[in-house]
Copies of this chain bind each other. A is one copy, B any other.
């Protein structure tokens, strides 16, 4: 595990560091003027002596709203934080997205540390500067681009993560494996299943590092998702978001992404864009880790796949685009026919 930096805009550098529980405790205790935000699942990671500077939110996406945001801002105000103070989010994607948003708007921007406590947030929310809250039922409607300058990865935090959460994060890791021409993450996943599933700290740290470095390639080229490069990271996500919506979010995000990856590559093969052996590599890796890609949905739900995409923040005027791959790390946007979507996702 090697520390590295990611530069998202002029003067805004994210330093990603790897440490253990002791190192985390020392690091958090060393911050002089800070507010620590966690949820019920992650607050244990914040040292006892910092508890008066700590806000513990209720867990869950349903709390990713302005009520929680206001709690963070009021706590910061109560602690008399200034814009040179630091907001520290310790938790999963909900905590880190909200803490980042609060930090970005408090006095027009305070400092920000993210300590992701789930595999999904380690490989996704921690890096890239997206902050948000949900609003009026729309996910991430209100937010900013505001990179943390400080991301602390503590693989030891994954020891107690429930299996479903772990597999959810792993779905995003597997997606990243196909988004780079360098197959090192792919081979690492093929060769280290035992260490990964046993939550070996060293193995997980290396895996997170490889996965974050794939994300880094895309976000550094297109920090605010304006050039159509960063959006390649949404490979599988149009399918995934629709599936999450149809199942009322009972299918966890990264598990939906794993399924969406399979659908996106199957779509690519059908459209003669994706080489069959690339899809077979994905099939192999997904089944090695036990993902069920055979899930199909009721026919009457198929229009949701189209409407979901139309609501998407990343929509543009050229129609409903899906991302697929034309090779390892070679993303391409396609506009599939509705009948093809139905053929891929619907029960026969």
Complex Cα distance, B77 from A141, in Å, reads 9
Are A144 and B9 neighbours in the complex by a CB distance under 8 Å?
no
Are B135 and A73 neighbours in the complex by a CB distance under 8 Å?
yes
Q: Which residues of B contact A106 (CB under 8 A)?
A: 141-142
Q: Which residues 308-346 of A sit at the B interface, judged by CB distance below 8 A?
A: 313, 315-316
Q: Which residues of B contact A135 (CB under 8 A)?
A: 73, 77
Give the Cβ gap from A304 to chain B, nearest Cβ, in Å: 18
Q: Which residues 118-135 of A sit at the B interface, judged by CB distance below 8 A?
A: 130-132, 135
A73-B135, A135-B73 known; A108-B82 Cβ under 8 A: no
Residue A66 interfacial (CB < 8 Å): yes
Give the Cβ gap from A293 to chain B, nearest Cβ, in Å: 31
Identify whether the interface residues of A are mostly helix, strand, loop, or mixed: mixed
Pick from B74, B136, B313, B316: contact of A74, CB under 8 Å: B136
Pick from B10, B107, B140: contact of A313, CB under 8 Å: B107
Are A141 and B107 neighbours in the complex by a CB distance under 8 Å?
yes
Are A109 and B77 neighbours in the complex by a CB distance under 8 Å?
no
Are A142 and B105 neighbours in the complex by a CB distance under 8 Å?
yes
Q: Looking across the interface, which residue of chain B has its beta carbon closest to that of A141?
A: B107
Give the Cβ gap from A66 to chain B, nearest Cβ, in Å: 7
Residue A138 interfacial (CB < 8 Å): yes
Q: Which residues 140-167 of A sit at the B interface, judged by CB distance below 8 A?
A: 140-145
Q: Which residues of B contact A224 (CB under 8 A)?
A: 108-109
Q: Which residues of B contact A108 (CB under 8 A)?
A: 130-132, 140, 143-145, 224, 313
Q: Which residues of B contact A132 (CB under 8 A)?
A: 108
Complex Cα distance, B109 from A140, in Å, reads 12
Complex Cα distance, B108 from A142, in Å, reads 6
Q: Which residues of B contact A130 (CB under 8 A)?
A: 108
Q: Which residues of B contact A252 (CB under 8 A)?
A: none
Q: Which residues of B contact A141 (CB under 8 A)?
A: 73, 77, 106-107
Residue A104 interfacial (CB < 8 Å): yes
Complex Cα distance, B313 from A131, in Å, reads 22
Complex Cα distance, B83 from A17, in Å, reads 33
Are A144 and B104 neighbours in the complex by a CB distance under 8 Å?
yes
Are A143 and B105 neighbours in the complex by a CB distance under 8 Å?
yes
Give the Cβ gap from A126 to chain B, nearest Cβ, in Å: 17
Complex Cα distance, B84 from A132, in Å, reads 18
Are A73 and B144 neighbours in the complex by a CB distance under 8 Å?
no
Q: Which residues of B contact A104 (CB under 8 A)?
A: 144
Q: Mark A92-120, 1 if CB is under 8 A from B, else 0.
A: 00000000000011111100000000000
